[in-house]
């Protein structure tokens, strides 16, 4: 560590002297070259053994990681860091036939990708309850719900009106009443409105949407929105325990710059933490204190006081994180070597006593000295903070390529460890709950450089596993990850109780459970095939249609054994789905190509899988 | 092991009694339920340590695994079994923008998936040379070439005329002169021809295509085809050393059944190994001994003797594998408890002496006793065989859920180990070369059942790592894998020499290397944006167009540092690409939606990545 710390110090002095947006561009370049990237020293040899899960044994935690612009969610086991599953969410995936059957095709709405940033597990009383996982699409203004009984995406909501680039999502309230999504990109609203950039401050709007979640089904619906200044809302966290009912957002570009942002959005020394009382906002919506914009109830907090307050923070903050007890709010100006800690009790006191330092955009600014309890010097590029069960906080340092451990209340740094390289977010075991486990910490690193066998110009990102159970952090293991790990949540394995197959439901529309009921029905030029897939046959296995027919295949997998999934692929018709045990899926093709097309099981199912095949014969139109 | 072997024996007696296609259906079901699936016993505790690669250290081998109906290739490191990269091949992937830029979009030809089965590394003198990886698309009759300098897909050939379901691909010759792809599904040819199934034996054809590979560029072109009976050509292997110049294929359904194949295709006791002399076929093509079908030179081996011979084999064989010295050809009838070994010298002798036992479909059948040197009783469901450096062969047993080790020449089984569960193929270190390393063996298991944390009804498949360096095989580690691992090849890491970025090329069409040259050019309603992406800006960052314009973005990443890839995403326009250091990509959109659309860097690039953003303003049509 000595070499690293030595360099760390040199580097800190060097950078603090330069600290300014322009300089940060230089820093960015040095980071890219690896000059500031950390040493790559291996851990104590015994460390790696902690990540070893022998054959036949199971991992202790699930890690749900955002797949970034892959549009998907990756499921890892911890501590082995093995990627167990890719859950398709916003991008079609023929491996499961996601986006190929009629139901998921409709859910995707013609879009073929998304930008998944921040997964949020559903919570009950501030604890992960293992029911659902919510993720945002930063590109297309959507949110999705994954059912953790099936690990399948069940609902996609959006594109949500008036919202553009909801980077500050998904963050759920302690009982999953809401998830909030705030715009990173201000635009004229409603969408479709054109206004020149010169009218940015006047006509471009920041918006936050409150997505209501049904406590029984998890169904998401758009409840109301807050009209905000044309700032970039970056990340968020819900209050919990003492701060339950409030939500916190970081914002940058309060300069309202719209060109060369890497300079323009860093001109001021301070940006804001935007905090709002969602129960008050809910009440305002009920009381009709809103304007309908594109069909949505939009509340202007300037006209409805008591909902939104601003707290000054060092410029261009990234993470804002609420401590497990709900008392402390930790924010990091990414261009400052410190994290700022606010005390929720002082915040409430300042609000009660009207300690307002001024207003911006008509929104009240709380008096900084009144609400801030500490500025902890942690190192360069603090981005995101997680917590353990012993009163410690862990902050990622993007520029230092390190994780720093510090003590809440005492505000002192107690440990620091190199990661490789340039961490964004951190993920601690049960880290966003009211009772973190304090066992594992995963550093989601943006650069891997030379840490893995080279795979050409496009490098993997990297997840590094750190043991935080002792006084000193220990780097244990590292795993490459596909683009791009923005955020992750880690939950105790026994909280997730998946179903290993679907229940047989004789009343399910289009399902067929007995080969005797398998059939082909024609209605004009529409053909419906009611098909059974059972080891190792398709029944019927011979479908004759006319060129131009629309053919629906309603396929039921009647193999009620776990792990016996059947595939259904048709060459040259660009069709592939997977049908799980007990599941029924409907796919549609237009038989526009004449000739003979064998269809076959694309997912290995039994000793005679290779023989599981049938024929689609398309008679040429005369 | 005792418990397992005990059950193994019981199970063998039970199944041999039943051995018949009908019974195999039952077996398939039992396999599915796990009753025959093996015990899952953990290995000696010290085993797992062998798979441990501490942070900062690199793996010893690359493993290239087929992604099955995901359409992609997965790159793993061995022994850690970490998945380092997903290489998009037949399926669009927004993580890299594959299928979104104009070049890759055209390469995919409107198809959105493929079924990757058998990756083949290019070879020189029978050794992997680390230049290219070839993979087949079993669904859409295509083959693709991945450049191992960039790990990007460079060429997709096909859909190939007359070929349907080329399961028996890709298998390359020892100097990569050719790769061969044989039809698994006989159909009327040329494609588009309709013929009822009742005319299967008469009008449906099996076809094998020879794909010529340019020794300098790796460019693939369709050279000639062989007209074969309407049988299912399953797997293959090229002769090497003494057998160089010959190619071997397994075939099933010589019964020519076309309905209820799981019974019909297993009616006869014997199918065939189809062997052909590709140099003789090449000569026939040069001498004009072919018929043009759909523009392809199709050679009928019945009319050109000396090219194709048949060797009897136990029914429904899967793998056919040539020993490193080229002398032995090992085939496994998957419904038999034995593997059959043929001796190439005896084969040549039989051909010279005209020891023909008869003909089928006009093709000569070599006399089985004359060419077969051994039938090794290995266990139930033998599918595929790999080799080591000490004269041992390793055969996967699908039904026994085991891998058996046996001695070439002595034909004796020396070891057997459980895997979990139901292995398909095996992959040994440098296993398909003339000099395998004899170090690692990976079992590609079709079922995982309860081996990993549950992810719902759709289970992962499983890769199990076995140490074969000692007398006894040792199970070391297991890793889950996305659907679906059909085959893999493992190459020594130092044979792969990737480039970590693209070279700056001022003459590259559409490239811009100086922000001063960045510009927007309009030509009627076509707009060309010559854009530079450089930390942390897009230049230009403000694009104003009219609704209905066609907009081309030519984006050059001028950050010449490894791992500094920029993304380019446009909300609601369904566009995302990644541009690697030194790369230029062109994307096109039709600006049909009016309003303001921020575009942004979707791939983390620097401390000011979040500020790397620009604007597309689309003026509404009046």
B311-336 pLDDT per residue, tens? 999 999 999 999 999 999 999 999 89
Span B413-424, pLDDT tens digits: 999 999 999 999
Question: CB burial class (10 A; 0-12, 13-18, 19+) of residue B9?
Answer: exposed
Provide the pLDDT for residue B21: 38
B69, B194, B563 member nearest A95 (Cβ)? B69
Task: Assess B478–A contact: CB distance below 8 Å, yes or no.
Answer: yes
Task: Assess B93–A contact: CB distance below 8 Å, yes or no.
Answer: yes
pLDDT at A13 over 50: no
Task: Assess A265–B contact: CB distance below 8 Å, yes or no.
Answer: yes
Name the closest residue on chain B to residue A98, using Cα atoms: B70
Asked if B86 and A613 come within 8 Å (Cβ–Cβ), the reply is no
Tell me phi and psi for residue B469, to 5 degrees.
Answer: -80, -20
Q: How far is B88 from chain A (nearest CA, A)?
A: 11
Q: How far is B294 from chain A (nearest CA, A)?
A: 14
Span B397-415, pLDDT tens digits: 999 999 999 999 999 999 9
Mutation for A interface: B94, B574, B600, most A CBs within 10 A: B94
Asked if A55 and B260 come within 8 Å (Cβ–Cβ), the reply is no
Provide the pLDDT for residue B622: 78
B84, B475, B581 member nearest A455 (Cβ)? B84
Tell me phi and psi for residue B519, to 5 degrees.
Answer: -165, 170
Peptide bond into A79 cis (omega under 30): yes
Provide the pLDDT for residue B46: 61
Tell me phi and psi for residue B213, to 5 degrees.
Answer: -120, 125
Closest CA to A28 of B584, B582, B534: B534
Mean pLDDT of B587-593: 98
Asked if B69 and A603 come within 8 Å (Cβ–Cβ), the reply is yes
- Of chain A, the percentage scoring pLDDT greater than 90 comes to 90
Q: What is the pTM (predicted TM-score) of this model?
A: 0.93
A112, A482, A484 member nearest B92 (Cβ)? A112
Average pLDDT, chain A: 92
Peptide bond into A190 cis (omega under 30): yes
Asked if B95 and A59 come within 8 Å (Cβ–Cβ), the reply is no
Provide the pLDDT for residue B526: 98
Quote the CA–CA distance of B213 and B107 in Å, as a whole number. Answer: 18
Span A62-77, pLDDT tens digits: 999 999 999 999 999 9
Span A352-374, pLDDT tens digits: 999 999 999 999 999 999 999 99
Name the closest residue on chain B to residue A27, using Cα atoms: B607
Mean pLDDT of A329-349: 96
pLDDT at B519 over 70: yes
Q: B40: pLDDT confidence band, cut at 50, 70 and 90?
A: very low
Provide the pLDDT for residue B37: 33
Length of chain B: 622
Quote the CA–CA distance of B120 and B171 in Å, as a whole number. Answer: 6
Encoded tokens for A339? 């994290």
Helical axes A21-33 vs A2-18, angle rounded to 10°: 150
For strands A526-534 and A550-557, give the pairing. parallel
Name the closest residue on chain A to residue B466, using Cα atoms: A55
Residue B46 sits at the vertex; the CA angle it makes with B45 and B48, to the nearest 5 degrees, is 85
The DSSP line for A434-448 is: SS---SEEEEEES--
Asked if B561 and A150 come within 8 Å (Cβ–Cβ), the reply is no
Lowest mean pLDDT across A119-133, B13-27, B231-245: B13-27
Q: Which residues of A touch B501 (CB under 8 A)?
A: 457
pLDDT at B34 over 70: no
Q: How far is B279 from chain A (nearest CA, A)?
A: 31
Provide the pLDDT for residue B262: 85
Mean pLDDT of A224-241: 98
Length of chain A: 622
- Of chain B, the percentage scoring pLDDT greater than 70 comes to 93
Mutation for A interface: B26, B231, B255, B456, most A CBs within 10 A: B456
Quote the CA–CA distance of B519 and B535 in Å, as a whole number. Answer: 18
Asked if B596 and A204 come within 8 Å (Cβ–Cβ), the reply is yes
Q: Which residues of A touch B18 (CB under 8 A)?
A: none
A360 alpha-carbon distance from chain centroid? 31
pLDDT at B500 over 60: yes
Closest CA to B593 of A192, A110, A189: A192
Q: What is the 3-state secondary structure (H, E, C) of A20-62?
A: CHHHHHHHHHHHHHCCCCCCCCCCCHHHHHHHCCCCCCCCCEE
A192, A537, A608 member nearest B595 (Cβ)? A192
Q: Quick check: A194 and A188 in contact, CB under 8 A?
A: yes
B456: left (phi over 0), alpha (psi -120 to 50) or beta: left
Provide the pLDDT for residue A262: 85
Long-range contact set of residues A412-417: C-beta below 8 Å, sequence gap at least 24: A412/A376, A413/A376, A413/A377, A413/A378, A414/A471, A415/A471, A415/A472, A415/A473, A416/A5, A416/A8, A416/A379, A417/A1, A417/A466, A417/A473, A417/A474, A417/A475
Span A598-614, pLDDT tens digits: 999 999 998 899 999 99
Asked if A598 and B185 come within 8 Å (Cβ–Cβ), the reply is yes
Name the closest residue on chain A to residue B40, using Cα atoms: A56
Q: Which residues of B touch A231 (CB under 8 A)?
A: none
The DSSP line for B211-269 is: EEE-TTT--EEEEEEEEE-S-EEEEEEE--GGGTTEEEEEEE-TT---SSHHHHTT-SS
Asked if A149 and B456 come within 8 Å (Cβ–Cβ), the reply is yes
Asked if A192 and B455 come within 8 Å (Cβ–Cβ), the reply is no
- Of chain A, the percentage scoring pLDDT greater than 70 comes to 93
For strands A440-445 and A423-428, give the pairing. antiparallel
Span B425-467, pLDDT tens digits: 999 999 999 999 999 999 999 999 999 999 999 999 999 999 9
Quote the CA–CA distance of A39 and B225 in Å, as a whole number. Answer: 56
B47: left (phi over 0), alpha (psi -120 to 50) or beta: alpha
Mean pLDDT of B121-145: 98
Asked if B82 and A21 come within 8 Å (Cβ–Cβ), the reply is no
Provide the pLDDT for residue B221: 98
Span B63-120, pLDDT tens digits: 999 999 999 999 999 999 999 999 999 999 999 999 999 999 999 999 999 999 999 9
Q: Please give the span between the terminal C-alpha atoms of chain B, in angstroms, as a whole number.
A: 79
pLDDT at A523 over 70: yes
For strands A168-172 and A61-66, give the pairing. unpaired
Span B224-257, pLDDT tens digits: 999 999 999 999 999 999 999 999 999 999 999 9
* ipTM for the predicted complex: 0.93
Mutation for A interface: B55, B495, B574, most A CBs within 10 A: B55
Q: How far is A323 from chain B (nearest CA, A)?
A: 25
Closest CA to B437 of B162, B63, B32: B63
Task: Assess A218–B contact: CB distance below 8 Å, yes or no.
Answer: no
Quote the CA–CA distance of B283 and B278 in Å, as a whole number. Answer: 8
Q: How far is B353 from chain A (nearest CA, A)?
A: 37
Name the closest residue on chain A to residue B570, using Cα atoms: A139
Q: Quick check: A232 and A138 in contact, CB under 8 A?
A: no
Q: Quick check: B520 and B581 in contact, CB under 8 A?
A: no
Helix (H) or strand (E) holding B598: strand B595-600
Task: Assess A579–B contact: CB distance below 8 Å, yes or no.
Answer: no
Task: Assess B202–A contact: CB distance below 8 Å, yes or no.
Answer: no
Task: Assess A505–B contact: CB distance below 8 Å, yes or no.
Answer: no
pLDDT at A412 over 90: yes
Helix (H) or strand (E) holding A584: strand A584-590
Span A24-40, pLDDT tens digits: 333 333 333 333 333 33
Q: Quick check: B430 and B420 in contact, CB under 8 A?
A: no
Closest CA to B158 of B205, B221, B236, B101: B221
* Residues of chain B numbered 362-401 and touching chain A (CB < 8 Å): 381, 398-399
Quote the CA–CA distance of A234 and A318 in Å, as a whole number. Answer: 6
Task: Assess B535–A contact: CB distance below 8 Å, yes or no.
Answer: yes
Encoded tokens for A182? 């705030």
DSSP summary character for residue A294: T
Name the closest residue on chain B to residue A72, using Cα atoms: B95
Provide the pLDDT for residue B29: 36
Number of CB pairs < 8 Å for A and B? 484
A25, A151, A500 member nearest B535 (Cβ)? A25
Mutation for A interface: B455, B467, B501, most A CBs within 10 A: B455
Span A549-577, pLDDT tens digits: 999 999 999 999 999 999 999 999 999 99
Provide the pLDDT for residue A622: 78
């Amino acid at each position: 560590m000595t070499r690293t710390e030595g360099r760390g110090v040199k580097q800190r002095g060097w950078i603090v002297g330069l600290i300014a947006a322009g300089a940060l561009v230089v820093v960015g370049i040095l980071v890219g070259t690896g000059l500031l990237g950390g040493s790559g020293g291996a851990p104590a040899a015994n460390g790696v053994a902690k990540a070893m899960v022998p054959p036949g044994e199971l991992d202790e935690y699930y890690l749900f990681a955002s797949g970034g612009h892959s549009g998907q969610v990756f499921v890892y086991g911890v501590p082995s860091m093995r990627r167990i599953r890719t859950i398709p969410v916003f991008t079609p995936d023929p491996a499961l036939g996601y986006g190929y059957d009629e139901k998921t095709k409709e859910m995707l709405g013609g879009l073929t990708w998304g930008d998944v940033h921040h997964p949020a597990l559903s919570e009950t009383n501030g604890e992960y309850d293992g029911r659902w996982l919510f993720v945002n699409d930063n590109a297309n203004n959507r949110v999705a719900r994954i059912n953790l009984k099936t690990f399948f995406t069940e609902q996609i909501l959006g594109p949500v009106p008036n919202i553009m680039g909801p980077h500050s999502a998904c963050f759920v309230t302690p009982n999953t009443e809401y998830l909030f999504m705030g715009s990173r990109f201000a635009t004229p609203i409603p969408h479709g409105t054109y206004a020149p950039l010169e009218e940015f401050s006047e006509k471009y709007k920041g918006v936050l949407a409150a997505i209501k979640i049904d406590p029984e089904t998890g169904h998401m619906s758009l409840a109301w929105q807050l009209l905000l200044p044309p700032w970039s809302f970056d990340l968020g966290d819900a209050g919990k325990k003492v701060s339950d009912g409030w939500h916190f957002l970081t914002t940058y570009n309060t300069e309202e710059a719209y060109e060369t942002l890497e300079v323009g959005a860093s001109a001021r020394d301070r940006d804001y933490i935007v905090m709002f009382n969602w129960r008050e906002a809910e009440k305002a919506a009920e009381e009709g204190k809103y304007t309908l914009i594109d069909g949505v109830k939009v509340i202007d907090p300037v006209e409805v006081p008591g909902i939104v307050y601003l707290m000054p923070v060092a410029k261009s903050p990234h993470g804002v994180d609420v401590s497990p007890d709900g008392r402390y709010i930790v924010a990091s100006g990414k261009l400052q070597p410190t994290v700022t800690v606010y005390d929720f009790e002082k915040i409430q006191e300042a609000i009660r006593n009207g300690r307002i330092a001024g207003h911006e955009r008509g929104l009240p600014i709380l008096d900084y000295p009144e609400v801030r309890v500490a500025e902890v010097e942690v190192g360069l590029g603090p981005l995101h903070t997680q917590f353990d069960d012993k009163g410690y906080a862990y902050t990622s340092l993007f520029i230092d390529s390190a994780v720093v451990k510090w003590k809440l209340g005492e505000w002192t740094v107690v440990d620091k460890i190199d990661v490789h390289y340039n961490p964004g977010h951190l993920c601690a075991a049960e880290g966003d709950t009211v009772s973190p486990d304090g066992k594992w910490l995963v550093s989601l690193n943006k650069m891997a450089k030379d840490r893995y066998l080279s795979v050409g110009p496009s490098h993997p990102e990297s997840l590094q596993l750190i043991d935080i159970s002792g006084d000193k952090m220990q780097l244990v293991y590292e795993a490459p990850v596909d683009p791009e790990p923005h955020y992750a949540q880690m939950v105790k394995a026994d909280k997730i109780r998946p179903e290993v197959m679907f229940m047989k439901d004789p009343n399910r529309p289009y399902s067929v459970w007995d080969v005797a009921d398998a059939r082909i029905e024609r209605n004009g030029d529409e053909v419906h095939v009611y098909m059974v897939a059972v080891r190792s046959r398709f029944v019927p296995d011979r479908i004759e249609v006319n060129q131009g027919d629309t053919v629906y295949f309603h396929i039921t997998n009647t193999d009620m054994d776990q792990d016996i999934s059947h595939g259904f692929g048709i060459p040259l018709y660009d069709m592939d789905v997977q049908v799980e045990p007990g599941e029924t899926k409907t796919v549609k093709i237009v038989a526009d190509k004449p000739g003979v097309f064998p269809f076959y099981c694309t997912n290995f199912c039994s000793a005679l899988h290779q023989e599981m095949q049938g024929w689609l014969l398309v008679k040429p139109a005369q």
